[in-house]
Amino acid sequence: MRRLPEGQSVVRLFMVRLFILLLIGAAHVVLLWPGDILVLYAEEYGAILEGVLFFQINILAYFLVGKWAARKGILANVEAHLPLFRRLLVWGLIIGIPVNLFYAYVAVFGDLYDLGGTSVTVAALTALGSPLLTLAYVAGFIFLVRAGHLERLSRGLAAVGRMALTNYLAHSVIAALLFHSYGLGLYGAMSPGVGLLIVAVIFGLQIPFSLWWLERYRFGPAEWLWRTLTYRKLQPLRRS
């Protein structure tokens, strides 16, 4: 962990870091992928309501769960919290799967943007069920890693995570070239199955690429740029 110079505020540095991330996100929106949801927000009041009730509440739930886990040191000491992970796995699946299936049912056969009670109910249930299902996935992954079944994969996923911003932006670059009119223009021209296959191929390639890159460099390209702009000093990139 890098030590701050004496007298430098951690909060100020963190705010600078977040502001730079905001600028990167803004450039991403303008240059690569504004996203259909933004158009929907601009055209339909119902989408705005749904966004407030679903997305923001859901994001708040994730933040609160993450803050609670960090304070408890749960991921720092997995062995001491195995009973908790077992409960999360069981109850996360029991509650999370039905709730998310209900959301999918309403999304396909109903109207998520209806200003009536259904939209509010779905938003409230998903704010609970979606984080629980995520925690169940995390718990299941932890047990698989402990059993030695995913050792190589977990190493690859860790590398992808260390280059999360780079890989995220790479997704948008690849998708833009595949789906936009200035690329192959494949938007709406493929089945969901083919779309899932493309996702698997892209992510499958990012795992070995991330491993290869981090064997030679300290950070991903985007992470290096973010760090350099944060500290206003060129950061070392190559490993010695």
DSSP character at residue 233: S
Predicted local distance difference test score (pLDDT) of residue 211 = 92
* C-alpha to C-alpha distances, 95 to 60, 146, 179, nearest whole angstrom: 19, 25, 36
Question: Which among 12, 20, 8 is positioned nearest to 230, based on CA atoms?
Answer: 20
CA Rg, the chain, in Å?
Answer: 21
Contact, 178 vs 184, CB < 8 A? yes
User: Which parts of the chain fold into alpha helices (H)?
Assistant: 10-31, 36-43, 45-50, 57-72, 82-109, 117-146, 151-162, 164-179, 192-216, 221-231
Predicted local distance difference test score (pLDDT) of residue 8 = 63
Predicted local distance difference test score (pLDDT) of residue 49 = 47
pLDDT tens per residue across all 240 residues of the chain: 555 555 566 777 778 877 888 787 777 777 776 653 333 333 544 444 445 445 555 666 677 777 888 888 887 788 888 898 999 999 999 998 988 888 878 777 776 666 566 667 777 777 778 888 888 998 998 888 888 777 777 788 888 888 988 998 888 888 888 877 777 777 777 777 888 888 899 888 999 999 999 999 998 898 998 888 888 888 888 887
Q: Within 13 A of 30's CA, how many CA atoms are on the CB side?
A: 6
Predicted local distance difference test score (pLDDT) of residue 237 = 83
Q: What is the pTM of this model?
A: 0.60
Predicted local distance difference test score (pLDDT) of residue 114 = 64
